Amino acid sequence: MLRISFALMILVFARFASASHFEICLSQVKATEHRLIRLESIQACFDNNKHSISADICFASAKKVQLREHSIELSENLNAICFYDVSQFKDINSCLKKAELFQISNTHDEAVFECYRQFQASLTLKQCLQVSVALKYPAKKEYLRNHCNSAAGN
């Protein structure tokens, strides 16, 4: 019995020893009872660890938090940290795919415009028009579509 307890303690210690500061931060926050403090603490975990986590871990963790906390505001804030501060996109399509994670139209369209900004120098007319289609607000779609067409005409 003593051997089993000792072995269990070693496994638990090994788990925490291999866990990142980010994982430890998120696991400690789960115990916070007051919802507003918990939500602020979760965002602080992401903010404080954004330079030490990968984009995949960031977005996966944001999704887990969203499923547990049911806060669109927190979800948008975490996605913004992952999108703007952690991710480095290789192409327009991977950028647009992550922009789809934003649920609020305004933050979604800001992310789509950020994708356009990052890749505008290498976009074809077809890709530029594809970016305009990804926008949610009709006026923004029209603006970018006109911009794409006028840039192609030059």
Q: What residues does each domain of the chain span?
A: 19-88, 89-154
**What pTM was computed for the model?**
0.83
Percent of the chain topping pLDDT 90: 82
Nearest to 18 by CA among 10, 6, 28, 29: 10
For residue 7, what pLDDT is reported?
45
CB 45 within 8 A of CB 26: yes
For residue 15, what pLDDT is reported?
42
- For the cut 50, the answer to whether the pLDDT of residue 91 exceeds it is yes
For residue 151, what pLDDT is reported?
82
Q: pLDDT confidence of 12, banded at 50, 70, 90?
A: very low
Positive or negative, the Cα torsion across 122, 104, 22, 47?
A: positive
